[in-house]
Amino acid sequence: MAFWYNEIFNQQSRFGLKSTAKLFEGNSEFQKIEVLDTIAFGRVLAIDEIFMTSEKDEHFYHEMLVHPALTTAPRIDRVLVIGGGDGGTVREVLSYPEVQQVTMVEIDPLVVEVSQRFLPTIGTAWEDPRLQVLYQNGVDYVRDAAVEPFDIVLLDGSDPVGPSTGLFTEAFYRGCHRLLAKDGVFALQSESPILQRSTFLEIGQTLSGIFSEVHPYFGPVPIYASGSWSWTYTTHSVDHLEFDEQRMSRTEQRCKYYNRDIHRAAFTLPNDLKPIFKNGKVTIEDK
Ligand code: SPD
């Protein structure tokens, strides 16, 4: 018997998916993990009753998190991914032959185990020898790891509740900055610019105290609150609109959503954000 599975957001809105089966439900030491079979989006991963990813819309989120940074950074040899336990982000990163090493730091082994079992079309790069998966809290890793700098740091976490709360703090962003090469790019998911506007703005404001340039960008993720999502690209020196032509032309041929026109359009600011994000600087008077 089909049933509705709802994500209730801040007790203010809800998004429901008609589901035909619950394929998995379990609790790790950190969170509740579920996999549903849904009519509209195929298999869906939910954590603490928040939609994380689905077979049919995951490409919007993963392509947009990864490719703006990887098509523009001067070097992409070493990449750090914090979170991303479903495997979609590292799959996109490892599509670049230039990438030599990817370190993925995921707090919850059960997310990876469940994703490998139930979402094999999302995590298709688990066996890539360039990938190292560490099960550790990302906050501790970026504070303590004694490693060579990374060319790219990507944050693929959940909303700022439960184990992800620490991923929205200045201390965490400073840790990412510590591990990033001087001419590197840090890109992160930065919540809905509509329903989580104050979180989205706070992320930009905090990053602007650490990095020289902060550029939010936007796109659809149909199963997330409001469907309208943001990511933020932050750097000291990289031009976010200047492509490595070879990387871009290969990437836009293989992606379902991302291409150079989407890239440019995604960084276009709506009128109400123009006074806040000017030339990579952030000025917030009223959230
Ligand atoms: N509102 C949900 C935000 C989740 C962002 N990360 C999802 C993980 C996909 N790899």
- Catalytic residue selected from 48, 57, 86, 156: 156
- Indicate if ligand 1 lies below 6 Å from the C-beta of 86: yes
Domains, the chain, ordered by start: 3-54 (2.30.140.10), 58-282 (3.40.50.150)
What was the pLDDT predicted at 286?
59
What was the pLDDT predicted at 130?
98
The radius of gyration of the chain from alpha carbons, rounded to an integer in Å, stands at 18
At residue 63, φ and ψ (nearest 5 deg) are -65, -40
Which one, of 218, 195, 197, 199, lies nearest residue 207 by Cα? Answer: 199
The pTM (predicted TM-score) of the whole model is 0.97
**What span, in angstroms and rounded, lies between the C-alpha atoms of 218 and 266?**
5
Catalytic residue list contains 156: yes
CB distance 203 to 169 below 8 Å: no
Could you report the per-residue pLDDT of 42-65, keeping only the tens digit for each? 999 999 999 999 999 999 999 999
Which one, of 175, 226, 176, 177, lies nearest residue 200 by Cα? Answer: 226
Low-confidence ranges of the chain (pLDDT < 70): 286-287
Protein residue with least CA distance to atom 7, ligand 1: 52
What was the pLDDT predicted at 39?
98
Could you report the per-residue pLDDT of 151-195, keeping only the tens digit for each? 999 999 998 887 888 888 999 999 999 999 999 999 999 999 999
Mutate to test the pocket of ligand 1, among 53, 91, 93 (most ligand atoms within 8 A of CB): 53
